[in-house]
Structure 1
Amino acid sequence: MLGEFTDKKAEERFFAVYDEILRKWPVPAEELDIETKFGPTRVRSCGPEDGPPIVLLSGGMGTSLSWYPHIAELAVRHRIHAVDSLGEPGRSIQTAPIESAGDCADWLAEVVEGVLAGTGHEKVYLAGVSRGGWLALNLATRTTARVAGVVAIEAAGFGVIGRSFIWWSLREIFRWFLPRWLLRLVASGDPDVRHTVRPLLFAALKYKQQLPEMHLFSDDELSAIDVPTRIVVGERSVIHDARAVAARLGSLNPHIEVEVVPKATHGLSLEKPDLVTARILEAARHAAAT
Structure 2
Amino acid sequence: MRFIIITTACLVLFSCTDKFAAYKEVPDYITEASQLDSTYYEAYDRTLELWPTDYEELYIPTTDGIAHVLVSGPKNGEPMVLLHGMNASSTMWYPNIQALSENYRVFAIDFLLEPGKSHVYDKVENVEKVVDWYEEVLFALKVDNFHLIGASRGGWLAVNLAFSNQKRIKSMILLSPAQTFTWIRPSKDLFKNIVKLFSSKEKRIEQTLESMSADVTHIKDSYIQQYKLGLETDSDNEFILSMRPFSTKKLQTLQMPVLVLIGDDDIINEPKTVKIANSLPRGEGEIISNAGHFLSMDQAEVVNKKMLEFLDK
Tell me the TM-score normalized by structure 2. Answer: 0.76
2:281 alignment partner in structure 1: 254
Q: Which one has more relative contact order, counting CA pairs under 8 Å at least 6 apart?
A: 1
Q: Which one-letter code corresponds to 1:272 in the other structure?
A: Q
SS at match of 1:244: helix
The reply on whether 1:159 has 2:186 as its aligned counterpart is no
* Gapped regions of structure 2 (runs ≥ 5): 1-28
2: CA distance between counterparts of 1:215 and 1:51? 35
Deviation at 1:192, TM superposition (A): 5.8
Does the CA-based 8 Å contact 2:290-2:298 persist in structure 1?
Answer: no
CA contact (8 A) 2:260 2:277 kept: no
Shift of 1:225: 1.0
Rounded to whole Å, the distance in 2 between the matches of 1:202 and 1:156 is 21
Q: Which residue of 2 aligns with 1:79?
A: 105
Cα separation, 2, equivalents of 1:24 and 1:249: 32
- The one-letter amino acid paired with 2:275 is A
Of residues 57, 71, 89, the one that matches 1:45 is 71
CA contact (8 A) 2:61 2:67 kept: yes
The residue number in structure 2 matching 1:244 is: 272
**Greater than 4 Å deviation, 4+ residue runs:** 162-172, 174-177, 186-189
> Please, which runs of 5 or more residues in structure 1 have no aligned partner?
178-185
Structure 1 counterpart SS, 2:120: coil
Partner of 2:50: 24
Larger CA deviation: 142-151 vs 77-86: 142-151
Preserved CA contact (<8 Å) 1:55 1:80: yes
**Alignment deviations for residues 105-158 of structure 1 (CA, whole Å, 9 cap, x no partner):** 2222222223335xxxx4111111111111111211232232111100001123
Show the 5 A alignment for 1:184-263.
Answer: 187-188=214-215, 191=217, 193-211=219-237, 212-213=239-240, 214-240=243-269, 242-251=270-279, 253-263=280-290
Amino acid at match of 2:89: T
Aligned pair partner of 2:309 in 264, 282, 288 = 282
Q: Does 1:173 align with 2:202?
A: no
Between structure 1 and structure 2, the one with the greater Rg is 2
Q: Distance in 2 between matches of 1:16 and 1:102?
A: 32
Is 1:270 aligned to 2:297, yes or no? Answer: yes
Identity %: 29
Name 1:138's counterpart in structure 2.
160
- Look up the match of 1:180: none
What TM-score, normalized to structure 1? 0.81
Residue 203 of structure 1, CA deviation:
0.4
Structure 1 residue aligned with 2:13: none
8 Å Cα contact 2:155/2:174 also seen in 1: yes
Q: What secondary structure sits across from 1:160 in the alignment?
A: coil
Supply the distance in 2 between the matched residues of 1:48 and 1:135 (Cα, whole angstroms). 26
| 8 Å Cα contact 1:234/1:260 also seen in 2 | yes
Mark the CA change 1:246 to 1:72 in structure 2 (over 3 Å): closer, same or farther. closer
Partners of 1:188 and 1:270 within 8 A in 2: no
Structure 2 CA distance for partners of 1:222 and 1:24, relative to 1, 3 Å: same
| Residues 281 and 110 of structure 1: CA distance in aligned 2, closer, same or farther (over 3 Å) | farther
- Residue 12 of structure 1 aligns to a residue in which SS? helix
